[in-house]
Structure 1
Amino acid sequence: MTSATILTIIIIYFGLLILISNIVSKKDHSNDTFFKANKNSKWYLVAFGMIGTALSGVTFISVPGEVGNPDLQFKYFQFILGNAIGFIIIAKVLLPLYYRMNLTSIYGYIEQRLGTISYKTSAIIFLISRTIGSAFRLYLVVIVLQRYVFDDFNVPFAATVLISLGLIFAYTYRGGLKTIIITDTLQTFFLVSSVFLTIIFVCRSLDFSAIEAFEAVKNSNYSKIFFYEDYLQGNYVVKQILGGMFVTIAMVGLDQDLMQKNLSCKNIGEAQKNMFTFTGIFVLINIFFLSVGALLYMYAEKNGVAIPMVDGVTRTDYLFPEIAFKHLSIIPAVIFLLGLTAATFATTDSALTALTTSFCVDFLGMDKAENANNMQTVKTRHLVHLAFSFLMFLVILVFNSLNDKSVVTMIFTVAGYTYGPLLGLYGFGLFIKSKTVNDKLVPLICIVSPLITYFINSNSKDWFGGYVFSFELIIVNGLITLLGLLLISKPATGETRF
């Protein structure tokens, strides 16, 4: 498929999203609509749309790419099982708390439980974490677009990033969450369809029936799921499940992005229905993504397709687009492009809306202002939305100059450091009911904790007999934060209600 064809499809795709946005937000682009979708979202639309937000282009490209690593294979499914446990905990513990307190920003809980400075600190942690994480995810798709489209037109990488963020801004800045729930439903449809159709097209290329494909994947060198031989290694099953569980609690349950969609449902019952349905679909879709990875490596072996290299570094992230764009026919290539674009932009548009909401609510107090929906506050919200788009642009440029790893590994490694303090703050608030904290010292604890965690991680092999941390590093960070909060705690003066 030529670069001109790919570019034409992308233009049509974003034209459709912008059209939907204009229809949805034509009569109502107030802050209530942007922040909460007027608390009238259908749970089944939220559940389906959240698949696209939770998966992103990382799952679409990086997860299948890592299947070929003999130390990884289907290891990621261990992490997914931990994710599923985390989603259930969120539905049963955190969502009832957020609904009981009628929150717009979930960090309002920290304000009431620990104090204003702790509240602002939590919101800042989210802003930093989500900006970095979403920039990484968008970076993955932009480098694919750059390699297979914009390089042919001599468009610089920075311009490609700016165009991508500009298009996202164009269909999100007015309707916010209300628009995203509709557009993400459409994008998730493209994402899910592309996974199943890719499997069908690759199986046809390999002359596999559905049963033969299942047997081939099961009997291949890529399908090992559980790694329990050596607990010192990062792929050990217990580490992966625990890491997946706590990463999910932090990156979903303590993150304004996905929780904002849950809080747009009419009541707690519908929000929990949404989470349980979403969990089942999420696990199933990830199984198919891993299967795509195994089939792609079989296809590459059969047809002599080499894993692409960039600046002398093997990049498994490029294997899927390499096969889709250069070795399969036009229809599979179009389907791949739609799935990749949908996966990544469904994540980024949601993140930009959540970042804007958090800043406007947690720092500008728009949910408490008497004139929260007047023209001036709406204009301010537009400026905040634009500012976060530009900030993400800068982060992607920095990341592009530094990164030489698989993006999926990088995202969850960074999350272990940035989201760990949120785990500690909420853990203290929920389980240490008899104490409160010296509010002024909380920012110091949240800065020191990731530094100590990094120091421990850097020396773990020498200190702990060869032990290598994986995704469970976030637990260590959370515990260090919790211990730090206990050191600056004091008996609560009144009854703790939450």
Structure 2
Amino acid sequence: MKNWFTVLIALFFSFALYAQNETEIASSGFSILNWSVLIVFLLGTTLIGELVKNKDKGLDAFFKGGNKLPWWAVSLSLIATKTSVATFIAVPAFIFSMNGNLTYVQMTIGFALGNILFVFVLLKEYYEEGIFSPYEFIQNRLGVKISQLARTFFMIGATMSQGVRLLGTALVLSVITGQSTVVCIVIIALFAVIWSYIGGITTVVWTDAIQFVIFIFGALFAVFYAVGDIPGGFGEMMAIADKKAKLVLWDLSLDPHKTYTLWVGILGCTFFEFGSNAVDQVVTQRALCCKNLKEARKAVAFSVIGVVTTWLMAIVGIGLVAYYDINPLSDLVSESISSEPDRIFPYYVVNELPNGISGLIIAAMFAAGISTLDSALTALSQTSVMGIGTLVFPKLKTMEENKIVKISKRAIIVWGFILALLAFTFSFFQDGGLLALGFKVPGYAYGTLIGIAFLALIRKGKFVGVLIGAMITIIVIALMHREGISFFWWFPVGALVVMITALLHWSLTNKKELEQ
């Protein structure tokens, strides 16, 4: 472990000193004090991760924490995992943008309902079968082929969405230092890999819990200063926002092309959140680490409070609108923000907030970003090694658990490289902002996954029918994408297409078998 710290300290201090000598617009306000806060956060969290890691060896300890983790720590980890850096930088950026307003907050209704749906629909089934992942549940109910199809869709959807989240965190570091996006992606991916590598899910859960505390305080500080920087305070801030039509909250439109409406929040976003909890191993893995079903239900239900972070950052977005209405951006900065709107909040933090406080809020953004990324790495490792890996390399089934854990750790490194590469690729496709991109990229996969999960619940579905349904779903979603249908509708529509197709195939093949 000492070797890890020697490398990390040398790397980060070299990076900090080099960044201080750069001349760029956005990093001039990030002082040595701010760097100290950020470095203490990153290295301190790494040390804590080493101290709290599960000393037991074996797959159950590495991937489920031996089912010894307290529900409240799991709940905080769930919130941290789902509260990505998109919440911190993309929500304020959306409100600050030309046509932005508060309508995104309607999505928090679905975020809450999706958690409740998972608690009462699938969580009990998962615990009764003692599984490591939802794909084992699918395998037990529908067979190996369908479970492998589900794993494939998960890995595609997860790598795409996590690549976006890694990019979002890299943009924060890029604004601070003026360094290239590539360098920033590498730094963040490195810490995420190390935290996942140290002690598996136990380290991830405890570091996530710590990071939740950091980013919730960061959000509160951001709100305090965003309001405090406006002459006239909260009232003047709201008056300016109202003048700019930023306070629109409810949208009852039935137009499916509109991204954020009440109906999208209640239906589309509920399916999205249910899928995140029930069939996305990045999140589901947390819920399976509790001592029993009762503890798991408390963990998932309590995680609903995570929506508070979205509300807080929406207020920050309104504060940015008012502040830069009173203190207009320079032409040079304004042009930069227009090309990459997600840079606005990091720019404000670095250039307008007091030293130390800006370091704390930047650390909060890192906490949100890396907590999601390290969770993804453990989930992708488990799915690729224990799922697809056992089919490609049958020897894994009889190999000693300690050796499989070592292979899983190597897989974490490989997935870290893949996510870094994807993040770099996505840096060229930010026209709609990170908020939209983060929801769009998994849209092609998660609708299918949700449909398969429901089929497993009712124990109906054959591989051919599910495969045909998955292919039709991709075509349907591609058409919806082309027609500009809100991406949140992709999830329920995808699930319904898979289920209807698979059930029709099930009915027809069973009928033929009876006739023969």
When normalised by structure 2's length, the TM-score is 0.85
Structure-1 residue corresponding to 2:246: 222
Structure-1 residue corresponding to 2:197: 173
Contact 2:253–2:261 (CA under 8 A) maintained in structure 1 = yes
Amino acid at match of 2:73: L
Confirm or deny that 1:349 pairs with 2:377. no
Q: Alignment partner for residue 393 of structure 1, among 404, 420, 427? A: 420
Structure-2 residue corresponding to 1:485: 502
Alpha-carbon distance in 1 for matches of 2:506, 2:43: 54
Alpha-carbon distance in 1 for matches of 2:280, 2:311: 25
Alpha-carbon distance in 1 for matches of 2:356, 2:263: 41
Offset at 1:13? 2.1
Amino acid at match of 1:412: F
Structure-2 residue corresponding to 1:53: 81
Amino acid at match of 1:469: S
Offset at 1:222? 1.7
SS of residue in 2 equivalent to 1:264 = coil
Amino acid at match of 2:486: F
Say if 1:485 and 1:309 are closer, same or farther in 2 by CA, change over 3 A.
Answer: farther
More displaced, 266-275 or 22-31?
22-31
Alpha-carbon distance in 2 for matches of 1:208, 1:46: 41
Say if 1:404 and 1:414 are closer, same or farther in 2 by CA, change over 3 A.
Answer: same
Say if 1:302 and 1:420 are closer, same or farther in 2 by CA, change over 3 A.
Answer: same
Structure-2 residue corresponding to 1:147: 175
Amino acid at match of 2:64: K
Offset at 1:39? 0.3
Structure-1 residue corresponding to 2:118: 90
Confirm or deny that 1:265 pairs with 2:290. yes
Q: Which has the higher helix share?
A: 2
**Which runs of structure 2 are paired with 1:73-222 in the superposition (5 Å)?**
73-151=101-179, 156-207=180-231, 221-222=245-246
Say if 1:67 and 1:127 are closer, same or farther in 2 by CA, change over 3 A.
Answer: same
Offset at 1:305? 3.0
Confirm or deny that 1:411 pairs with 2:453. no
Amino acid at match of 1:403: Q
Offset at 1:207? 4.3
Unaligned runs of 5+ in 2: 1-28, 512-516
Q: Alignment partner for residue 420 of structure 1, among 447, 460, 466? A: 447
Alpha-carbon distance in 2 for matches of 1:184, 1:201: 25
Confirm or deny that 1:324 pairs with 2:349. yes
Structure-1 residue corresponding to 2:358: 333
Contact 1:104–1:367 (CA under 8 A) maintained in structure 2 = no
Structure-2 residue corresponding to 1:464: none
Confirm or deny that 1:31 pairs with 2:59. yes
SS of residue in 2 equivalent to 1:172 = helix
Contact 2:196–2:374 (CA under 8 A) maintained in structure 1 = yes
Contact 2:35–2:359 (CA under 8 A) maintained in structure 1 = no
Amino acid at match of 1:132: M
Say if 1:389 and 1:303 are closer, same or farther in 2 by CA, change over 3 A.
Answer: same
Confirm or deny that 1:297 pairs with 2:318. no
Structure-2 residue corresponding to 1:465: none
Paired residues, what number? Answer: 477
Offset at 1:110? 1.2
Confirm or deny that 1:475 pairs with 2:492. yes
Contact 1:420–1:450 (CA under 8 A) maintained in structure 2 = no
Structure-2 residue corresponding to 1:463: none
Alpha-carbon distance in 2 for matches of 1:310, 1:53: 33
Amino acid at match of 2:155: L
Alpha-carbon distance in 2 for matches of 1:139, 1:309: 21
More displaced, 300-309 or 395-404?
300-309
Contact 1:18–1:171 (CA under 8 A) maintained in structure 2 = yes
Alpha-carbon distance in 2 for matches of 1:402, 1:236: 25
When normalised by structure 1's length, the TM-score is 0.88
Q: CA RMSD in A?
A: 2.7
Offset at 1:418? 1.8
Amino acid at match of 2:108: I
Deviation by residue 1:188-213 (Cα, 9 ceiling, x = unmatched): 11100011111112222224567886
More displaced, 445-454 or 90-99?
445-454
Q: Alignment partner for residue 243 of structure 1, among 264, 268, 271? A: 268
Offset at 1:35? 0.3
Deviation by residue 1:386-409 (Cα, 9 ceiling, x = unmatched): 111111111112111333221110
Offset at 1:157? 3.1
Confirm or deny that 1:449 pairs with 2:473. yes
More displaced, 1-10 or 413-422?
1-10
Alpha-carbon distance in 1 for matches of 2:165, 2:510: 41
Percent identity, aligned pairs only, is 23
Contact 1:191–1:340 (CA under 8 A) maintained in structure 2 = yes
Offset at 1:312? 8.5
Offset at 1:320? 0.7
Alpha-carbon distance in 1 for matches of 2:278, 2:324: 39
Alpha-carbon distance in 2 for matches of 1:214, 1:283: 21
Alpha-carbon distance in 1 for matches of 2:193, 2:380: 13
Alpha-carbon distance in 2 for matches of 1:212, 1:94: 47
Offset at 1:346? 0.7
Unaligned runs of 5+ in 1: 461-467, 494-498
Alpha-carbon distance in 2 for matches of 1:162, 1:210: 40
Offset at 1:249? 1.1
Alpha-carbon distance in 2 for matches of 1:122, 1:26: 29
Say if 1:470 and 1:123 are closer, same or farther in 2 by CA, change over 3 A.
Answer: closer
Structure-2 residue corresponding to 1:282: 306
Structure-1 residue corresponding to 2:49: 21
